Chain A
Amino acid sequence: MGDSATRPLKRTALFDRHYAAGARIIPFAGWEMPVQYEGILAEHRRVRTEAGLFDLGHMGEVDVQGPDALAFLQYTTTNDISSLAPGEANYGMLPNDTGGVVDDIIVYRMPEGHEGYMVVINAANIDRDLARWDELRQRRSDLDVTVRNVSDQFAMIAIQGPNAESIAQKVIDIDLSQVAYFTLVEGTIAGVPARIARTGYTGEDGFEFFPANADAATVWDALMDAGKDEGLAPIGLGARDTLRLEARMPLYGQELGDDISPYEAGVGWAVNLRKGDFVGREHMAAVKAEGAKRKVVGFKMVGKTAAPRTHYPVQVDGDVIGEVTSGAFSPTLGENIGLALIARDYAGVGKPLQIIIRGKPVDAVQVKTPFYKRAAK
């Protein structure tokens, strides 16, 4: 981390597109990324009602291959990779040795005819994830596996929203209606090859595409053109954050971290204690057996108030019992919503909290999450 301030910011293959579109560019995880185009509220609503296109070129991709790729991923991640058929994916954690989380990841088993796995990781964690896998490879030198950072070879572009499939189908050769949620296929987008996954981080239907970096602009332009009559527009990181928050998807560094158990973060479902040994398993098993001491809960502010923000203290009866991990004005609900990591005894839907906003306690109430769930098709 020490040299991150002096390292020059990187640009994705689509930077010129964002600049030309008038995006506001901010530094994010070592990259110059678009935070907004037309405005966060409009972009957010567009993804909920039509479709949005996201440049996620900063995200990391790692190929794990070799005869023991499965055994290595079973050992170094929390979810059960052995349950994945070719082309299937699951969400899980790269754990540390003490029951916390180095990163949250999606592991895709490559489709029929291809070997190994692709793991998609957070931009800010690429270096530490690779260092962690390096360390674990040495620990398990009995396993024959290669872990290759292919982040610089692949672009990542997501299309999300109710019109995503209809738009993408115009420029993709395979039948997208046959691509199930959390699966990966190889296909062709506007004539160029790409990995195509039905995954996302918005709570909407949609796809994530992984073309070669050199083909990123071809894919971006073809999708923008295909979507021009169906409301497609580019979406920045600002709306990406409010979209994922409404869908109660955790963000590493906020709901997840080195000292937060997945069971505290509410993603215990992505930990499989029955699959056999994996790093950190005994710590996670202990937390599960005893019950997490803290819990990430959803809340809404009562009435018209300022928005809760990350690290704002949370109190009950004058005692600080935790802090806000994420908070924002919810464009869909028109209310201020948030997630907070609090002492377990205070957690419960309907129970009150007070959020300390600029020194003053402001009333909030715990609510069920997700805050937003799209209607079934």
Chain B
Amino acid sequence: MSAPENRKYTKTHEWVQVDGDVVTVGVTDRAQEELGDITYLELPETGDALTAGEAFGVVESVKAASDIYSPVDGEVVDRNSDLVDAPEMINQSPFDKAWLIKVKIADPSQVDALLSPAEYDEFAGEATH
């Protein structure tokens, strides 16, 4: 699956969708595929402060635990609580139903600096070698 348009991406396989000064964050299809069957998810609480490049959550598959990194600085304004009870949704709908958190961003230019869909696809393709 190639990366959907209208989003930005990180080299750690998160996606960001911008709506005004709030961004929605999730993990990419490539991330869920690499992880395999997802069994557990830890998300921050509403109100938590995030720092770009630092871990804000953990996703676990049968085989391994992986950190999820914040693409931006900001404050968590919403979390997908349903997903914590049904983390396998990340395998089924990584770009849609399995959004993780919404973040009020401090600095919109941080989003501009992230990867475009084409850049991410190229990066993710290269990362398989």
Contact = CB atoms under 8 A, between A and B. Distances in A.
Interface of A: 24, 35-36, 39-42, 238, 242, 304-307, 309, 328-329, 331, 336, 358
Interface of B: 36-37, 39-40, 42, 58, 60-65, 85
Contact of A35 (B39, B58, B60, B63): B63
Contacts of A35: 63
Contact of B37 (A39, A304, A336, A358): A39
A106 B85 CA distance: 42
A6 B39 CA distance: 35
Nearest to A309: B65
B55 to A, nearest CB: 9
A306 B42 contact: yes
Which among B42, B61, B62, B65 has the greatest number of chain A C-beta atoms within 10 A?
A: B62
A41 B40 contact: no
A197 to B, nearest CB: 28
Contacts of B65: 306-307, 309, 358
A331 B63 contact: no
B15 to A, nearest CB: 22
Contact of A40 (B37, B40, B60, B85): B37
Contacts of B39: 307, 329
Contacts of A305: 40
A216 to B, nearest CB: 26
Given A35-B63, A306-B65, A307-B65, A238 B58 contact: no
20 contacts: A24-B36, A40-B36, A40-B37, A40-B61, A41-B62, A238-B36, A238-B62, A238-B63, A304-B40, A304-B85, A305-B40, A306-B42, A307-B60, A307-B62, A328-B62, A329-B40, A329-B60, A329-B62, A358-B58, A358-B65
Contacts of B85: 304
Contact of A242 (B42, B60, B62, B64): B62
A142 B39 CA distance: 56
Contacts of B60: 306-307, 329
Given A40-B36, A307-B40, 14 more contacts: A35-B63, A39-B36, A40-B62, A41-B37, A41-B62, A42-B37, A238-B63, A304-B85, A305-B40, A306-B58, A306-B60, A306-B65, A307-B60, A307-B65
